[in-house]
Amino acid sequence: MKNNNLKEQLNQHIEKIAAPLCEMADTIFDHPEMGFQEYKSSALLCNWLKKNGFNVIHGVCGLDTAFHAVYERGKDGPSIGLLCEYDALPIGHACGHHLQGPVILAVADALKNIIIDKPFKLIVYGTPAEEGLQGKARMLANGCFNDIDIALMMHAGDHTTVDVKSLAGARLDVDFKGVSAHPSLAPELTRDALDGLLLTFQGIEFMRGHVKKDVSLVYGIKDCVGMPNNKDQTSTEGYVVFRTYHSCDVEDLEKRITDIFKGAALMTGTKVGIAKSHEMVGKLPSHVLNKLILDNAQALSAPQILRPHRERTGATDFAFVSRHVPSAVCRVAFVPEGTPSHSQAFLEAGKSQRAHEAIRLGAKIIAGVAVDLIYSSETFQAVLKEYKNIKAAEGNAGRGSTAI
Ligand SMILES: [Zn+2]
């Protein structure tokens, strides 16, 4: 009962501060910045946090557009990480990341002002470059996220829900080196690098029929003879990106693709070089946090609720955080069901009434979850315990076992 009153007070506070935060989201939307270039967006969020009494460091862990903002009441309460993204896609904010910062600011400010009788710590992490550049992985490698017990984030979507799995995999860049000689006077001395790459693609197509259904294989050409600005006629560059919801299969898939590269080089008498990047891990779910999110969403009559959860999301660098501390993302519906992210429709809804409602609602849901964690040490301990078990089970079964 007490928590319900508290949540009501938090909701009222969020309503009170929502209008300028919705405007802030519109401003971020109108000035989209791609990964690691989010100078204006991160400055807007940091300035607001500073003005509202948070201890802010803009630029952390070697990333100019990452930030860290702290508020602590008392000692030894749970340390709640509130994460937000703000990077855009080339077409603009077609993934709704402009909404996340304002949501997290509203949550942090409401908790700071309303909860006065319990110890807790809030750490707002501004996490740049989610889209393809894995900002959170870099932050983690550089020492971020060691001061939080759990991590929460909001993401706009076509359902109000949570998810359990995300894609793992990597990108393999490949270059084939051929041998040049006069094509009609000494064709026997030539070796064509493009042949190696074309046979690679052929091999990937044949492989497609012999992998689990959830495996995605995407490839392309980066440079070859005939392309504008081709720099070296004896070399051809391409890439293969592979993704799977079964993290335990990543190693095997990488090996099979590497064998295809090598086989193609052997067949064509070319030399091959391989470089791995964009390694993505699968996320570890927190079912306890997921349930708290959905319970709070339901209590607020959130639209388009999908329960118990959405089984899968795409590849996300949030997965790196989920392997460090118990984590969950609260998805909030702001577009009709079935509207995909990264689409024109998603982009067009960016400043809509529903987008602004999603800010209010996302903030209320996450603030509600924070209350559940701050006021019930049993709930908080249940999150930690489940996480420990999931990690132990994974350790026994291999990374990202399907059992979890
Ligand atoms: Zn996104």
pLDDT tens profile 124-177? 999 999 998 899 999 999 999 999 999 999 999 999 999 998 899 999 999 999
Q: What is the phi/psi pair of residue 216, to 5°?
A: -110, 135
Distance CA 112, CA 108 (A): 6
Distance CA 82, CA 109 (A): 12
The residues of the chain scoring below 70 in pLDDT are: 1, 396-404
Other beta carbons within 10 angstroms of residue 227's beta carbon come to 12
For tokens 């050409």, what's the residue? 221
Q: What is the phi/psi pair of residue 87, to 5°?
A: -85, 155
Residue 176 C-alpha to ligand 1 middle, in angstroms?
A: 34
Token pair recorded at residue 146: 């060691």
Residue 331 C-alpha to ligand 1 middle, in angstroms?
A: 10
Residue 286 C-alpha to ligand 1 middle, in angstroms?
A: 19
- Nearest to 151, CA basis, from 181, 94, 107: 107
**Element holding 221 (H helix, E strand):** strand 216-223
Residue 231 C-alpha to ligand 1 middle, in angstroms?
A: 35
pTM of the model: 0.87
Amino acid at site 312: R
Residue 57 C-alpha to ligand 1 middle, in angstroms?
A: 24
Residue 380 C-alpha to ligand 1 middle, in angstroms?
A: 27
For tokens 């990202």, what's the residue? 400
Distance CA 102, CA 99 (A): 6
Residue 137 C-alpha to ligand 1 middle, in angstroms?
A: 15
Could you tell me the domains of the chain? Answer: 2-166+282-397 (3.40.630.10), 168-279 (3.30.70.360)
- Write out pLDDT tens, residues 51-94: 999 999 999 989 999 999 999 999 999 999 999 999 999 999 99
Q: Do the Cβ atoms of 28 and 93 come closer than 8 Å?
A: yes
Residue 315 C-alpha to ligand 1 middle, in angstroms?
A: 9
